[in-house]
Amino acid sequence: MTIKITAQQLSMRFKERVLFHIPTLSIGPNDAIYLKGDNGVGKTTLLKILSGLIKPTTGTVIAPNDTWLHRLFPRTGRKNVIYLHQSPYLFDGTVYENVVYGIRYQKEEAKDKRAQVITALRMVGLETLADEHISVLSGGEKQRVAMARAWILKPSILLMDEPSASLDQESIERLVIMAQDLIDRGSSLVITSHQQNALTDLCRKQWWIKETTLIESPLLQVISDKELDKTYASSKTN
């Protein structure tokens, strides 16, 4: 199932500082968005708001699958929306236990769940490490485990916060395979990154946070930062 998230009059303030004010935005279905902006402009904050992990200062986020639990306890996160941090939380246990955690309540036999997990781990090149303790993995391998855990849940929207930071080329390529598979299934992605790479090349749309404003542009491949600056300057004079 694919869903669409919309937001209206979204703003975030820290004391006297307005981080951003976004009149409207939407994600999905089947979007692939590259979220850009300088350090400190609020990219991570925006992703956490969209995932339901934090509340905005003002504004509303509308997601069709918001449950009564999320409405009662907003920081429980949104159903079918996953936020993937650049330093993902992995608990003390094996690689298999970390990946299977997301489907632990699904009504399937243990052998079927294991087959799903091994498929996910094979896609990220870690199937031979399924029964190893998570502590023996490198940073790039841990990021792949986190991606496998997200992929196995088949999210409608995956929010990837600096997923390629400090990763080796193989890890980036493995993440690209999984991200492309999710896009092919109709999922939406929002990816933040300080530089263009194989993951951001999957994107078909660009968001750019500039001086508290969100600028949206299609056709990422042909839009440079200089052209975005011109677009922003033009919007300020109109």
Vertex 129: Cα angle to 128 and 132 (nearest 5)? 145
Higher-confidence residue of 75 and 56: namely 56
Query: Which residue segments constitute the domains of the chain, with CATH numbers given?
Result: 5-237 (3.40.50.300)
**Dist CA 126 CA 90 (whole Å):** 15
Torsion angle of C-alpha atoms 93, 96, 101, 103, degrees rounded to 10: -170
Q: What is the mean pLDDT of the chain?
A: 86
**Dist CA 127 CA 31 (whole Å):** 29
Torsion angle of C-alpha atoms 95, 106, 190, 63, degrees rounded to 10: -150
Which pLDDT value is given to residue 222? Answer: 45
User: Over the stretch 180-223, which tens digit does the pLDDT of each residue have?
Assistant: 999 999 999 999 998 888 999 999 999 999 989 999 988 545 45
Which of 77-86, 136-145, 229-238 shows the lowest mean pLDDT across its residues? 229-238
DSSP per residue, 12-25: EEETTEEEEEEEEE
List the one residue out of 104, 102, 162, 149 whose CA is nearest residue 123: 149
Which pLDDT value is given to residue 62? Answer: 86
Q: Quick one: pLDDT band at residue 70, thresholds 50, 70, 90? A: very low
E strand intervals along the chain:
5-14, 17-27, 32-36, 58-62, 81-84, 157-161, 188-192, 205-210, 213-218
The position carrying tokens 């968005």 is: 33
Q: Write down the pTM of the prediction.
A: 0.86
Residue 21 has pLDDT above 60, yes or no: yes
User: Over the stretch 125-172, which tens digit does the pLDDT of each residue have?
Assistant: 999 999 999 999 999 999 999 999 999 999 999 999 999 887 889 999
Average pLDDT, stretch 16-28?
91
Which pLDDT value is given to residue 226? Answer: 56
